[in-house]
Amino acid sequence: MSKFYRTAYPFPSQSYSSSDDEDEDDLPYPAPLVRSAFLEPDFSPAKYLATLGNRHQTLEDLRGELRDRVKELGRELVDVVNGEYEDLMGVGLALRGGDEKVQGVKVGLLGFRREVEGLRDAVGRRRGEVQSALGERRKVRGAVVLGRKLLDVEDRLGQLERRLGVVKLDEDDVDGDEEEDDEDEDAEGDASRRVRSTAALYAQLKTLVEGVGSHPFMDAQAGRIKVVRDALLLDLGVALQSARADKGSQGQTILLKLIASYRDIGEAAKAVIALKSR
């Protein structure tokens, strides 16, 4: 082992110098440098060397040991690189051509986006067509409902005209009406039943007219409806006066029914006028 070299002191005694050399020969061999000291995150060479002040080793020996440590670390690094070489090469090969793959993915995404936009436009057009078809269907359905109401108005109006005798009837219609009159009178013995039934039919007609509202067909039938109304009020007035003349309980019952018929057709004021008249 190399020896420390000390500066000669001006002491006359030769025996002291000889004893000092023997002590240096008896110094213990320094322990190897601890590897963990170099692994600290905040490792500082200057601080580490400062901790070696009590180490019995020459500077040259310390340098040599550090060089050996560096060589050992280099060999370990080479071994690690060699051990992971295949994996590193695999990563390199996998990364090679990555730009082309990314570009391919971008192109695919753009194509997919165009397809989605095309489908969205097609769905939008289809939705518009469906909504238009539904609108047409609602219009047709409304027209059908309106047509049925108009037919009902015509049917009710025709029945009223025949019952009230405001139009010329065919022979079959006359016979049928006479049979109905006979059946009504025989069944109830109440001459006012027919006029009350006619009033109920007129009330249905008014409801239908109000449901249709403003319509050219209704405007054209306004004259016919007025004629039917006037004829019905005339028949109701005659029946009312006849019921007033009957002082019995049956007459009073018929009178109340006739007043209710006035109310049903919205002509309650006409009933009051008829009752006041003599």
Using one digit for the tens of pLDDT, what is the confidence trace for 176-233? 555 555 444 443 445 688 999 999 999 999 999 998 888 898 888 889 999 999 999 9
- Given a contact cutoff of 8 angstroms between Cβ atoms, the answer to whether 182 and 246 are in contact is no
For residue 235, pLDDT over 60 is answered with yes
Spatial CA neighbour of 191 closest among 147, 255, 127, 125: 255
Query: Residue 161: which H helix or E strand, with range?
Result: helix 98-164
Q: Supply the mean pLDDT for the chain.
A: 77
| Residue where a domain stops, chosen among 51, 72, 91 | 91
Using one digit for the tens of pLDDT, what is the confidence trace for 77-92? 888 777 777 777 777 6
| Measured distance CA(80)–CA(84) in Å, rounded | 6
Residue 126 lies in a domain: no
| Residue where a domain stops, chosen among 65, 91, 117 | 91
Spatial CA neighbour of 33 closest among 18, 23, 48: 48
Q: What is the DSSP code string of 46-105?
A: HHHHHTTTT----HHHHHHHHHHHHHHHHHHHHHHHHHTHHHHHHHHHHHTTHHHHHHHH
User: What burial class does residue 91 get, using C-beta atoms within 10 Å of its C-beta: 0-12 exposed, 13-18 middle, 19+ buried?
Assistant: exposed
Query: Within this chain, do residues 158 and 236 fall inside the same structural domain, yes or no?
Result: yes
Residue 143 lies in a domain: no
Predicted TM-score (pTM) of the model is 0.50
Q: Which two tokens stand for residue 78?
A: 């080479």
Query: Within this chain, do residues 87 and 158 fall inside the same structural domain, yes or no?
Result: no
Query: Within this chain, do residues 261 and 188 fall inside the same structural domain, yes or no?
Result: yes
For residue 14, pLDDT over 70 is answered with no
Residue 245 lies in a domain: yes
Tell me the chain's radius of gyration from C-alpha atoms: 62
| Residue where a domain stops, chosen among 46, 68, 91 | 91
Relative orientation angle of helices 268-276 and 249-264, to the nearest 10 degrees: 140
Q: What is the DSSP letter of 165?
A: T
Spatial CA neighbour of 29 closest among 70, 53, 61, 73: 61
Q: Which two tokens stand for residue 252?
A: 């009073």
| Measured distance CA(113)–CA(246) in Å, rounded | 91
Domain holding 27, by residue range, is 14-91
Please compute the mean of the pLDDT values over residues 161-184 and round it to a whole number: 62
- In the prediction, which pLDDT does 200 show? 92
- In the prediction, which pLDDT does 1 show? 42
- Given a contact cutoff of 8 angstroms between Cβ atoms, the answer to whether 214 and 251 are in contact is no
- In the prediction, which pLDDT does 191 show? 65
| Number of folded domains that form the chain | 2
For residue 33, pLDDT over 60 is answered with yes
Spatial CA neighbour of 212 closest among 223, 222, 198: 222
Indicate if the alpha-carbon torsion angle 182, 184, 190, 195 is positive or negative.
negative
